[in-house]
């Protein structure tokens, strides 16, 4: 009975694995055939001062809403138009000349085909992201981006899986091209994301939440570890900064280092800070954004929780930033 259940579990794992692999393979094929049409679409959007309209139906419509969200968050004004509702009043969102991206897997979606002549009356430039470049929709748009797939990834081969993933990826690619073309920067992204963790990471800077040097344990390289530990007890920030007489950063001694030194079974009077510290540690400048500090601390094989802060343009140590404080700080 147990073997049968285990085989069933392994079979289901295999199904999940095959879906992900199939979608990944199709994405690579799409990447290899991306051409100048993506750039043409981007140029149309950039050269228009108004908004862009994304139109779709069913699963394509859901993907269209995601593309709209991505475009809006990266500096391109966009709205979603439901293809089924477009002919019943929703066309009021248009201003003459607003470009439209039409999403259709088959390229023969009836509602979209009915919509195309009407959109021409609005002088809308039409960009098609279609799964069939020989389809009626493809034949009636100004720019075609090929979103065709060889098969859907589900066991029946009929559920929109690979096709929706490919369409969404093309939308992401177009958004990225627009970001580069507009020289869209971190501060621009932060302006559109003022709230939440992401907003905090992009808007706040290290100097906004760092612990100043007066609140951090400091020591000289020649100080005994006993003195260093006493200072860390007075200013419990998780580390002591080892500096010279001019506050140039020479090293850092963390709580983890304390435990490692205790394991050596040596008298703390006999060990100097300079012998046990991490010399020339990673540091960050006070004007850096919090996201840079997080990346320095987390995106490494062995994560660190504290980071010395130096003044901009030099190695004069002015404080310490802790990962804990970054995640605990609330937006004001």
The predicted structure's pLDDT at residue 331? 46
The predicted structure's pLDDT at residue 195? 65
| CA–CA separation, 327 and 331 (whole Å) | 11
The predicted structure's pLDDT at residue 263? 74
Q: Splitting the chain (332 residues) into consecutive groups of 10 residues, what average pLDDT does each group show? A: 81 94 95 93 95 95 96 94 89 93 95 95 96 96 96 92 96 96 83 68 85 94 91 93 93 87 74 88 91 89 90 85 82 44
The predicted structure's pLDDT at residue 255? 87
The predicted structure's pLDDT at residue 332? 42
The predicted structure's pLDDT at residue 289? 87
205: left (phi over 0), alpha (psi -120 to 50) or beta: beta
Q: pTM of the prediction?
A: 0.73
Backbone angles phi, psi at 45, to 5 degrees: -70, -45
Q: Which two tokens stand for residue 290?
A: 């919090």
The predicted structure's pLDDT at residue 101? 98
The predicted structure's pLDDT at residue 136? 96
Dump the DSSP string for 144-209.
EEE---S--SSTTS-SSSHHHHHHHHHHHHHHHHHHHHTT--HHHHHHT--SHHHHHHHH-BHHHH
Delineate the domains of the chain, giving CATH numbers in brackets: 2-184 (3.40.50.10490), 206-328 (3.10.580.10)
DSSP state for residue 105 in the 8-state scheme: S
The predicted structure's pLDDT at residue 290? 87
């Amino acid at each position: 009975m147990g073997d049968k259940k285990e085989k069933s579990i392994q079979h289901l794992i295999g199904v999940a694995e095959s879906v992900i692999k199939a979608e990944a393979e199709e994405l690579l094929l799409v990447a290899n055939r991306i051409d100048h049409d993506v750039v043409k679409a981007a140029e149309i959007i950039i050269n228009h001062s108004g908004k862009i309209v994304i139109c779709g139906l069913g699963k394509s419509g859901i993907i269209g809403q995601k593309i709209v969200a991505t475009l809006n968050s990266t500096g391109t004004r966009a709205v979603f138009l439901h293809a089924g509702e477009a002919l019943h009043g929703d066309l009021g969102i248009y201003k003459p000349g607003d470009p439209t991206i039409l999403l259709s897997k088959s390229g023969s979606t009836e509602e979209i085909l009915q919509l195309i002549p009407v959109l021409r009356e609005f002088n809308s430039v039409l960009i098609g992201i279609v799964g069939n470049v020989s389809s009626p929709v493809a034949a009636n748009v100004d720019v075609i981006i090929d979103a065709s797939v060889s098969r859907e990834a589900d066991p029946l081969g009929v559920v929109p899986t690979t096709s929706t993933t490919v369409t969404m990826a093309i939308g992401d690619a177009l958004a990225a091209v627009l970001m580069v073309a507009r020289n869209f920067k971190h501060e621009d992204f932060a302006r559109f994301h003022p709230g939440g963790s992401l907003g905090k990471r992009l808007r706040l800077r290290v100097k906004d939440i760092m612990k100043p040097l007066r609140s951090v344990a400091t020591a000289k390289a020649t100080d005994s570890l006993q003195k260093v530990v006493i200072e860390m007890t007075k200013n419990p920030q998780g580390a002591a900064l080892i500096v010279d007489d001019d506050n140039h950063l020479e090293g850092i001694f963390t709580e983890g280092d304390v435990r490692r030194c205790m394991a050596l079974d040596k008298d703390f009077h006999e060990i100097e800070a300079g012998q046990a510290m991490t010399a020339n540690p990673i540091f960050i400048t006070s004007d850096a954004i919090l996201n840079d500090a997080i990346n320095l601390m987390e995106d490494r094989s062995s994560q660190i929780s504290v980071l010395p802060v130096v003044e901009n343009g030099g190695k004069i140590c002015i404080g310490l930033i802790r990962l804990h404080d970054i995640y605990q700080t609330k937006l004001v």
